[in-house]
Structure 1
Amino acid sequence: MPKGIWIFIEHSNGKIRKVSLEVLSQGRKIADQTGESLVAVIAGEGIGGFAKEVAEYGADQVYLLDSPQLAQYTTGAYTSALNKLIREQEPLAFLMGHTGLGKDLAPRLAQRLGVGLASDILDIEVDPEKFLVFKRPVYTGSAFSTVETTSRPVLATVRAKSFLVADPDPSRQAEVIEAPVNIDPADLKVILKEVAIAASSRPALTEADIVVSGGRGMKGPENFAILEELADVVGGAVGASRAACDSGWIANGFQVGQTGSIVAPTIYIACGISGAIQHLAGMNASKVIIAINKDPEANIFNVADYGIVGDLFEVVPLLTQEFKQLVNS
């Protein structure tokens, strides 16, 4: 009989990703409401140290899939290992972050398991009859739909910043289970040889509390330096519109939008961005939106909480100067 609320824990560079702690914290609430246990699943190599941390955030049990074949994420290996574990243990629900990894892994797991998938979830409600009911954006965020799945396990990916991270409880302990890892050779179609990590002191784009983004109005790659300076002063990340990325002014990994990263920071500063609907879909969940554009009719002002009509090359340096004074005061 299916049982347990399971959360897939994503980690990078020796740290658990914040979105996984957000989903785990919400999973604790769901488990308490439904009377189910909360189970964390961690895959990788040498990952035992994460068990204590996820226990502090509410996990009752921790499954460790520890293998050199899982040291770096590859679709085939992770799908194979998780598919077998889920089939053996039969959880009621399996939730993960709507990250690049989650968007790649979840659909493949759904196909293997023969179940539905609720993706890019913003909210979860417990229903006595329907179990879990999800809220997700549609039409590039201009409307919302309610989704429920009748198959088990319930499989879903959750957008970052949708839930708050609970305070950890150092006294909590969890049962740690080392699950066997048997990956089908047919699933090892891709073998990752090397991972190149770009060194940066800035937070990850999808996890930053402040994002400073530039669009076509930046006029060239060299001008992103002024956005980087502002982002560094406020402790934020740098983003960009698709137009800026397609022009080769900044790498595609910085793209915010429907076909890029979905962000929901506390503050989103849009510089020289017109406000195309595809871009708005990637940032309209931000708590506060500040737009800087010399065109007073730009669509970005329709969603902005604060708007500055002016030349960004004059406005952004002034903002940077003011923030420096605030930080140093």
Structure 2
Amino acid sequence: MKTSNIEEYQGIWVFIEQEEGCLSEVSLELLTAARCLTEKKEMEICAVLLGDGVGGLSESLPGWGADRVYWADHPSLKRYLVVPYAKIISRLVLEKKPDIFLLPATWVGSDLAPRIAARVNTGLSAHCTNLDINEKGELRQVVPAFGGKVMATILCPKHRPQMATVRPGVFRKGDPQAKKGKVERVSVDLSSEDLRQRVLEVHYEKKAAQAIEDAEIVVAGGAGIGNGDDWKWVEKLAKTLNAAVGGTRPPLDEGWIHEDQMIGQSGKTIRPKLYLGLGISGVIQHTVGIQDAKTIIALNNDPKAAIFETADLGVVADYRKIVPLLIEELEKKDNP
């Protein structure tokens, strides 16, 4: 692999996801991440936006932290399609030469990022849980590795841009500011070969009533719940506490929760005032998503469960015996 001429590459880019004229929350979080990185290394922050009729959105991005906005507008870009998106952005990367390029670790970003990286001959770190700049001005990309047993720091010293996808919730979205920036429209040159793929219909999955990333209290369940019939105790406790319901990978695989309720490396990062985990073993793939919770309470019948190393309060017991009593006491308090 031919190395890049590092000195030619400048600035930090953020790919902005949008749908139906709405900016995604994680894209705005990444603009905050970019601002944090510029405190360690002076760089211009550039937002990259593709879509149909997104001129108004492009004008709003400087208020979220972008110094410059590159935007492409075309009817074929209304919905995400990997070939035209990758072609337009890769061409722009080769022309403008950014030093760092951040994309959301969503299904769109996870599909798009490796295509761009391959086209521009650079590396990619996926599902990062932290970013920083080292003393050499290189991007430190922290990701879970070896099945989540360790946290690895990855560098890309010989190739540019330094590319990373970042999970939703890792950085907090900043507040909009009255800021102006440079907005530059990018030409779109797509062939019939680029547009062989089409979106015929879009069906939206029903989401949880309360978004776990915004909730002050989260009740989460793991494989230790045992079966779908007993999952009711997770939901009953959450309802009693006016909390959001979350879970680990096994409950998602069993169909007990929706994808937007999964917490951890491949799901959501949460920062509630109270996290209550039931039947959760505590593998790092999950705990990386709750490490910023103010208070963590864990209930598991295995005294050696790893979750107790993370918890502020641990209870070794069968949740089937504890949770019904807890609900009863909470209901008494609400209805004296």
Q: Confirm or deny that 1:119 pairs with 2:126.
A: yes
Whether 2:158 is the aligned partner of 1:177: answer no
**Mind listing any 5+ residue stretches in structure 2 that lack a counterpart?**
1-7
SS at match of 1:77: helix
Decide which of 246, 250, 262 is 1:243's aligned counterpart.
250
Counterpart for residue 261 of structure 1: 267
1:283 corresponds in structure 2 to 289
Question: Deviations for 1:164-209, whole angstroms, at most 9, x for unmatched residues?
Answer: 333321x201222221222344344532211211344635556766
Amino acid at match of 1:192: V
CA spacing shift, 1:237–1:71, aligned 2, 3 Å: farther
The equivalent residue for 2:146 is 139
Match of 2:165 in 1: 157
Please list every run of 5 or more consecutive structure 1 residues that lacks an aligned counterpart in the other structure.
none
Q: Which residue of 2 aligns with 1:58?
A: 65
Question: Cα deviation per residue 1:227-248 (whole Å; 9 max; x = unaligned)?
Answer: 3455467675433333333444
In the alignment, the residues of structure 2 paired with residue 16 and residue 325 of structure 1 have an alpha-carbon distance, to the nearest angstrom, of 43
SS in 2 for 1:79: helix
- Letter of the 2:286 partner, please give it: L
What is the aligned counterpart of 2:99 among 86, 92, 101? 92
Percent of counterpart pairs with the same letter? 34
For the residue of structure 2 that corresponds to 1:145, the secondary structure is strand
Conserved in 2, the CA contact under 8 Å of 1:230 and 1:316? yes
Tell me what 2:228 maps to: 221
Q: For the Cα contact (< 8 Å) 1:220–1:249, is it kept in 2?
A: no
Q: Give the deviation of 1:111 after TM superposition.
A: 0.8
Q: How big is the alpha-carbon RMSD for the aligned residues of Structure 1 and Structure 2?
A: 3.4
Q: What is the TM-score with the length of structure 2 in the denominator?
A: 0.80
Output the amino acid matched with 1:158.
V
State yes or no: 1:2 paired with 2:9: yes
Post-superposition offset of 1:8: 0.9
Within 1, Cα distance between the matches of 2:160 and 2:253? 41
Aligned-pair distance for 1:113? 1.0
**Cα drift, residue 307 of structure 1:** 2.1
In structure 2, relative to structure 1, the CA distance for the partners of 1:125 and 1:238 (3 Å cut) is same
Alpha-carbon distance change, 147 to 246 in structure 1, aligned in 2, over 3 angstroms: closer
Deviation at 1:300, TM superposition (A): 2.9
- Residue 271 of structure 1 is matched in structure 2 by 278
User: Which of 2, 7, 16 pairs up with 2:23?
Assistant: 16
TM-score by length of 1: 0.81
Select between 312-321 and 47-56 the one with higher mean Cα deviation. Answer: 312-321
Q: Which amino acid aligns with 2:27?
A: S
Distance in 2 separating the partners of 1:92 and 1:197:
36
Counterpart AA for 1:86: V
Look up the SS of the partner of 1:21 in the other structure: helix
1:80 matched to 2:87: yes
Q: Does 1:166 align with 2:178?
A: no
Q: Distance in 2 between matches of 1:206 and 1:113?
A: 34
Q: Secondary structure at the match of 1:156?
A: strand
Distance 1:201 1:82, change over 3 A: same
Q: 2:52 aligns with which of 23, 45, 55?
A: 45
Is the Cα contact below 8 Å between 1:221 and 1:250 reproduced in 2?
A: no
Letter paired with 2:125: A
Go from structure 1 to structure 2 and tell me whether the alpha carbon gap of 1:89 and 1:312 turns closer, same or farther (over 3 Å shift): same
Deviations 1:47-98 (A, max 9, x none): 2332344211211111222222222223223212211222222222211222
Give the distance between the partners of 1:278 and 1:26, measured in 2 at CA: 23
